């Protein structure tokens, strides 16, 4: 009898861990649906939103202003006005500041995180677009579209400490928390690997099969880069050597790629009104889980890793410009879409 109990105990011990993993994976595969739509108002284009998990605030880029939403209540709690061509936003709770790339001013605006009052302005390169804070070096980095370079800024002092020449059109940036940056160069189909401490380009990698790269996300543990391209493909790359391992179909006009290390889910928000959701089954195996229907034009996105919610700003009556007909872009009825499981 003791022998049978011992065998049963061993069997249960082997099954339960696998059952727990299966449960966790099953939970992470839950379908996404629209939870809430928040009216923002105003007209104009939009770009990268940014999420501050510590204070449960979402910062929404809206051309000449930044709209701040409390993600717990869903209420608009403030606006940062008089910005000139807002693109990227980098809230840094540790410093009590939020930094905004102002593309039309060739500058980065600094604002108080609590009061949203202006604290100063830093001259950057030409037409700063994406902006990111690197906790390892405590520096800010902007990808400057017209300057084909990157500006490095001391986040505490606001001092510009260097410029990194890139030789192409820079887009999204990912950091590994250890002093490395990974930056998409859209017109060269490249990923540039940068030493954030020395401010030098370490590697320049051509992406195989993925064209006009826009979104970049990083799986630090398994050293995998996920790069969303405008040719409706996401590339999986080895972050150690830049080798393209495979490509996976996504939507059209991607602009943001996000990775959740807890669920190992990858999200690509696309201007065709979809979010492609992909699961990293292993570092070399990926499964497309679902295609979430959003709205046309909703190409940028922020993510809350705690609630697993997706935040997508968009104009409900958005119409893209059409050079063949002379149709100009139409914006209006600006809203925030919140998707969750």
pLDDT tens digit sequence for 155-178: 999 999 999 999 999 999 999 999
Question: Which 3 state secondary structure label does DSSP give 311?
Answer: strand
The model's confidence at residue 191, banded by pLDDT at 50, 70 and 90, is very high
Number of neighbours of residue 297 by Cβ within 10 angstroms: 25
Lowest mean pLDDT among 118-132, 292-306, 314-328: 314-328
Above pLDDT 70, what percent of the chain? 91
**Predicted pLDDT of residue 323:** 78
Lowest mean pLDDT among 45-49, 248-252, 314-318: 314-318
Residues 154, 132: contact at Cβ < 8 Å? no
Lowest mean pLDDT among 40-54, 175-189, 270-284: 40-54
**Predicted pLDDT of residue 200:** 97
Cβ neighbors of 287 (< 8 A, separation 6 or more) are: 278, 279, 281
Pairing status of strand 233-238 against strand 224-229: antiparallel
**Predicted pLDDT of residue 322:** 79
Look at residue 334 and tell me whether its pLDDT is greater than 90. yes
Phi, psi (degrees; rounded to nearest 5) at 49 = -85, 165
| For residues 323-328, average pLDDT | 78
**Predicted pLDDT of residue 317:** 81
**Predicted pLDDT of residue 29:** 67
The model's confidence at residue 10, banded by pLDDT at 50, 70 and 90, is very low
Cβ neighbors of 138 (< 8 A, separation 6 or more) are: 154, 155, 156
Provide the token pair at 187: 């017109």
The model's confidence at residue 145, banded by pLDDT at 50, 70 and 90, is very high
Look at residue 3 and tell me whether its pLDDT is greater than 70. no
pLDDT tens profile 63-98:
999 999 999 999 999 999 988 999 999 999 999 999
Lowest mean pLDDT among 30-39, 200-209, 233-242, 261-270: 30-39
**Predicted pLDDT of residue 7:** 39
Question: Which 3 state secondary structure label does DSSP give 227?
Answer: strand
**Predicted pLDDT of residue 30:** 58
Residues 191, 172: contact at Cβ < 8 Å? no
Lowest mean pLDDT among 41-45, 88-92, 320-324, 337-341: 320-324
Q: What is the mean pLDDT of the chain?
A: 91
Instruction: Looking at mean pLDDT, say which of 6-15, 65-74, 311-320 comes out highest.
Output: 65-74
**Predicted pLDDT of residue 28:** 54
Burial class (CB in 10 A: 0-12, 13-18, 19+), 19: exposed
| For residues 4-33, average pLDDT | 50
Query: Considering the entire predicted model, what is its pTM?
Result: 0.89
**Predicted pLDDT of residue 325:** 82
**Predicted pLDDT of residue 42:** 80
Q: How many angstroms separate the CA atoms of 204 and 183, rounded?
A: 10
Residues 253, 259: contact at Cβ < 8 Å? no
Q: How many angstroms separate the CA atoms of 134 and 254, rounded?
A: 24
Conformation bin of residue 8: beta by default, left when phi > 0, alpha when psi is -120 to 50: alpha
| For residues 114-124, average pLDDT | 96
Look at residue 2 and tell me whether its pLDDT is greater than 70. no
Cβ neighbors of 19 (< 8 A, separation 6 or more) are: none
Residues 187, 169: contact at Cβ < 8 Å? yes
């Amino acid at each position: 009898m003791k022998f049978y109990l011992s065998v049963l105990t061993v069997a249960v011990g082997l099954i339960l861990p696998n059952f727990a993993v299966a449960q966790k994976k099953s939970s992470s595969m839950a379908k996404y649906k629209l939870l809430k739509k928040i009216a923002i108002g105003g007209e104009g284009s939009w770009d990268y939103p940014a999420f501050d998990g510590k204070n449960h605030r979402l910062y929404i880029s809206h051309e000449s202003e930044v709209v701040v939403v409390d993600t717990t209540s869903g209420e608009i709690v403030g606006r940062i006005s008089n910005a000139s061509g807002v693109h990227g936003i980098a809230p840094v709770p540790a410093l009590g500041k939020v930094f905004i790339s102002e593309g039309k001013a060739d500058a980065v605006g600094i604002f108080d995180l609590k009061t949203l009052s202006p604290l100063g302005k830093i001259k950057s390169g030409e037409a700063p677009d994406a902006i990111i804070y690197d906790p390892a070096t405590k520096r800010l980095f902007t990808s400057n579209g017209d300057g084909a370079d990157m500006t490095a800024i001391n986040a505490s002092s606001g001092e510009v400490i260097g410029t990194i020449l890139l030789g192409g059109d820079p887009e999204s940036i990912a950091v590994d928390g250890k002093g490395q940056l990974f930056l998409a160069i859209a017109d060269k189909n490249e990923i540039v690997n940068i030493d954030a401490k020395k401010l030098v380009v370490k590697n320049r990698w051509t992406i195989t099969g993925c064209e006009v790269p826009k979104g970049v996300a990083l799986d630090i543990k398994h050293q995998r880069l996920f790069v969303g391209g405008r040719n409706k493909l996401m590339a999986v790359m080895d972050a150690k050597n830049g080798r393209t391992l495979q490509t996976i179909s996504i939507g059209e006009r991607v602009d943001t790629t996000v990775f959740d290390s807890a669920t190992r889910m990858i999200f690509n928000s696309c201007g065709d009104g979809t979010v492609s959701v992909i699961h990293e089954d292993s570092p070399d195996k990926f499964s497309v889980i679902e295609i979430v229907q959003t709205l046309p034009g909703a190409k940028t996105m922020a993510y809350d890793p705690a609630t697993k919610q997706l935040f997508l700003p968009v104009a409900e009556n958005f119409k893209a410009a059409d050079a063949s007909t002379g149709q100009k872009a139409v914006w209006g009825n600006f809203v925030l879409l919140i998707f969750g499981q």
